[in-house]
Amino acid sequence: MTAGIQSEARAQILSLVRDFVRRDVEPVASRYDNEDIYPGELADKMAELGLFGITIPEEYGGLGLDYTTFAMIFEELSKGWMSVSGIIGTHHVMSYMIASFGTEEQKRRFLPRMAEGKIRGGLALTEPEAGSDVQSIQTAATKDGEEYVLNGSKMFITHAENGNAFAVLAKTDKGTDPPYRGISCFIVEKPSTGLTVGRHLDKLGYRGLDTCELIFDDCRVATENLVGGEEGQGFRQLMSALETGRINIAARAVGVATAALEAALRYAQQRRAFGVPISQHQAIQLKLAEMATKVQAARLLTYDAAAKKDAGERVDLEAGMAKLFASEVCAEVALEAMRVHGGYGYLKDFPVERYYRDAPLMIIGEGTNEIQKLIIARRLLEKYKI
């Protein structure tokens, strides 16, 4: 796709997304969030808009858009309600793994259905005793003829109830050194014998989108569902895919932070204290200036990581920086917006309390920020090795 066509496609899809958010998402966000209702009709409309196929290549039925547009879409969705971005978040991590590392047969079998939204995917990585420490996963896959038998459990799985396919990381060889060389990735569709959805997890924020356990008890998966057809490649496939995941988390953080900033700007001009709008008080002006500057810096870091991904570069350093900075800014700006609102910001009548509850997810998700700092430091030391 040429730059001109890409730019035109970006403008069109962003316009459609903004209209969707304004018309369909914003009117229901507070109620769905408060009552923890899954927005099935919004997911269907997102499928109609093609949002399940943003970065899936056109030859497989997707939009084939660049990662800068991808980031902008996640930002716009999250400004309206961050939970709706989660419907397609790990779906795109899964589609990236198949598009980048899958066999041609796997690409043709899965990607067109993923682009249409018939397959709504997710990532089954985290376990009760293994999160950021991927090498410590205990879910095992044992080959039995033309099938693998999966046993283990996964925790904090987004879209576990309402999704219908997952990229599942499992150990096919527990004796490798280092352990990551024994990790493989499988595509497991629902329903599958031996796969059950465990308890629905009641969360502080990110509500309305199901997060559950997945339990694998002698779950049989065909050998042709081993991503790439080769054992031991799952860790490498995952690390590459998580670069895109961290770009989308950074973009979500920018979206929530922007919504909080805009809410603070509106309220500061409406609320009066000591005879004038509080926006005329220097203390509030200083807050707004710092908030806006940090949000813009987070946005530019995110777009920079996306642009480098579009150029085919390795971006674990840039994506880690963007995710780290944007998520911390999001939490800070959400709190500052609440402080601008005063007591009203603490009420569910105003959306800033939702922004405040949603912000921590970006700090914790796709690898905690403490892990991001380690990744950033290691990459810097590699880059500037003496």
**Which residues are known catalytic residues?**
366
Cis preceding-peptide flag for 178 (omega within 30 of 0): yes
**Three-state secondary-structure class, residue 154:** strand
| Amino acid code (one letter) for 94 | M
Instruction: Give, to the nearest 10 degrees, the angle between helix 316-341 and helix 352-364.
Output: 160
Note whether 302 and 250 are within 8 A (CB): yes
User: 3-state DSSP helix/strand/coil percent for the chain, to nearest 5?
Assistant: 60, 15, 25
User: What is the number of alpha carbons within 13 Å of residue 157 lying toward its C-beta?
Assistant: 30
Which residues in 140-159 are b (16+ Cβ under 10 Å) and which e? bbeeeeebbbbbbbbbbbbb
Among 179, 241, 197, 191, smallest CA distance to 221 is for 191
